[in-house]
Amino acid sequence: MQLAAHPHQPDYSPRQNAVLDSALRLLVDGGEKALTTAGVARAANCSKESLYKWFGDRDGLLSAMIGYQASKVRTFDDNAEALTAVTLREHLVLFARDLLEVLAGDVSLALNRLAIGQASREGSKLGSMLQERGRRQVGKRAGALLEAGRNAGLLAFDDRDEAYDTLYGLIVSDLHLRMLLGEDSGRMAKDFGRRAERAVSAFLRLYGRENGSVQPKGGRKT
């Protein structure tokens, strides 16, 4: 497991991190509407003036919340040495389950809703921030995994991003959006295991070279 450093982002003091925690709690519980500056100040036992001194304005607070949360959700690089068909499959399934659980987390859902709500307003960088921090991070893990699989002769693809896009779609489909729209995420969380298995099986049938099933002769994709 390795920590991904993000030095281009201001780090906050423990006290400020605690405030950000309170703000996240507030956002998760009550949605964006409940996330008022006075509410954050009250919940965190700090003054509004301090909020504005630390984070500039409301948008700064939101950005800080996203950055803070992203700094907490760290993915490990499962070190993919000695990959076999079996261990590759295991790693992929594990990745899929982790991905689904991250996406279904209430903090993740709340932040995505927040960023989407701000996305209409031009110049709001929350969307790209979430995109950068979230997907890029988890995508790096998947990319390394895919690359390792290819190097081990277990996977066949030309474009790594394309392969990852396919994997992502197979795993998530429209589940993320449905959860964002309010569908009960807890109810469907128990199916994550089965869903991960299904998606990885399909992915290996598409991109796998020896998966115990049919193996396409040339690994052609088109």
Partner DNA sequence: GGCGAACCGTACCGTACGGTACTGTGAATG
Partner DNA sequence: CATTCACAGTACCGTACGGTACGGTTCGCC
Contact residues: a second copy, CB under 8 A: 30-33, 110, 112-113, 115-117, 119-121, 124, 127-128, 130-131, 135, 162, 165-166, 168-174, 176-178, 180-183, 198-199, 201-202, 205-206, 213-214, 216-217, 220-222
Residue choice 1, 5, 38, 82 for contact with DNA (CB under 7 A):
38
Q: Which does 50 bind (CB under 5 to 8 A by kind): a second copy, DNA, none?
A: DNA
How does DSSP assign 120-151, residue by residue?
SSTT--HHHHHIIIIIIHHHHHHHHHHHHHHH
User: Between residue 51 and residue 70, which ones bind DNA under the rule CB under 7 A?
Assistant: 52-54, 57-58
At its nearest, how many Å lie between a second copy and the CB of residue 22? 17
Q: Which does 186 bind (CB under 5 to 8 A by kind): DNA, a second copy, none?
A: none
Contacts of 134 (CB under 8 A, 6+ apart): 70, 73, 108
Please state, in angstroms and rounded to a whole number, the distance separating the CA atoms of residues 222 and 207.
12
| Residue 40 contacts residue 22 (beta carbons within 8 Å) | yes
**Which residue in this structure is represented by tokens 């590759």?**
88
Q: Which is nearer to a second copy, 105 or 117 (CB)?
A: 117
Q: What are φ and ψ of residue 208, in 5° steps?
A: -80, 150
Q: Which is nearer to DNA, 54 or 164 (CB)?
A: 54
